Structures are given as structure tokens and as C-alpha cells.
Amino acid sequence: MASDQISNEEHPFTIASSPAQPDALEFIVRTTGDWTAQLKHLQLRDRVYIDGPYGLFSHLRFSEAQEFIMIAGGIGITPMLSMLRYMAETEDRRKTTLLWSNQTPDHIVLPDAFEKLAAQLKGLHIVHVMTRASEYSGERGRLDRSKLKRLLSGCSRSAAVMVCGPDHMMQDVRLHLVSLGFQRQMIFMERFVL
């Protein structure tokens, strides 16, 4: 970045906008440290350098008949938001289950956008799971084996599963999914690393 307020070190972020919107590029960044806390100092006309995208974490690798399961932890929702936006724009009707774990309802980014997506995508079922909200009336607790078994009971064991979130959460979810009969080669994880 060419800003006096922010260092030039590289940081990986996932594109949250749809690839069908070439005039816009959106990133959603949760403040998790000193560097991300400085992003608020960016000014109009500051220069940023973007490299990528990288990887194959996309629903476009599969036919529209392929059932999808998306499991996100916190800000790990961003690549799934991009996919869901594109699916809505292309009227993709595949069965898609989104399990999204957050600490509290206040940690849900862009709740209105997800309500709109749920209305647009008839095959989309969203389940919010809160890990630190004792007053929350919906699903609470970690995505452990028993919770995944119950929440994914209506899903095909041959569904493509996309997982993104904290590394320990992704590792645990992957082990639980394999033990529940989901196909190891159909579980894909997005890691935010350089």
C-alpha cells in the first residue's frame, strides 16, 4: 500500500464481491490486530496493490446439480458470500446449506445481504450458530460432531463441502465430517496464509 499510515506488508484477504460485478471489488476485513486496525486510515486515492486471486475454492468447479454445504467460522464467510452472490445473479438453484458460526449475533457481517440472498436463492438454507451468546434462542455452541450430524442430517454425504474459518475449527470440522461419512476428497478448505 502506498499510504503513510499503513505498512507495506502483505496480508491475505478474500474477495467478497461477485465475479459478475467487474466494476466493484469488495473485501470485508475484521480487525484482528495492529495492521488491520490501521486500515481505517486509508484515504481516497491511496494506492493499494492487489495480487491474485489464488486457489480453487469455488462452486464453479462443479456442475449446478452438485449439492453444496458451506461451513464458515466468523469472517471465513467472505469467500462463501462471493459464491452466494454469484449464484443469486446466475439463478443457481442447487441445494446449498450454510452453517455459519459466530461468537454473537453482533459478529454477523452484512446480515441484510444474507437475508436477501436467502430470499433470492430458493435452494439456500442458512443456519446461524453462536458460540458465546447465552441469550440467543437459535443454535449455540461449537460445531462438534453431534451438532454437525444433526444440522446436516438432510444433506447428501456426497455433497461438496466448503469450509473456511479459524484453522483449528476447520481441522475439527473436517475430522467430524469424515467420521460422519462425508467424502474426504469432497471437503475443501480455504486458508488465509501467504
pLDDT tens digits for the chain (194 residues)? Answer: 456 667 777 777 777 767 777 787 776 777 677 776 777 778 888 887 777 777 778 888 888 889 999 999 999 999 999 999 999 999 999 999 999 999 999 999 999 999 999 999 999 999 999 999 888 999 999 999 999 999 999 999 999 999 999 999 999 999 999 999 999 999 999 876 64
Backbone angles phi, psi at 66, to 5 degrees: -75, 120
The cell for 63 is: 456442475
**Which of 134, 177, 140, 184 is CA-nearest to residue 155?**
177
Neighbours of 166 (CB within 10 A): 14
- Does the reported pTM lie above 0.75? yes
Residue tagged 460445531 (cell numbers)? 143
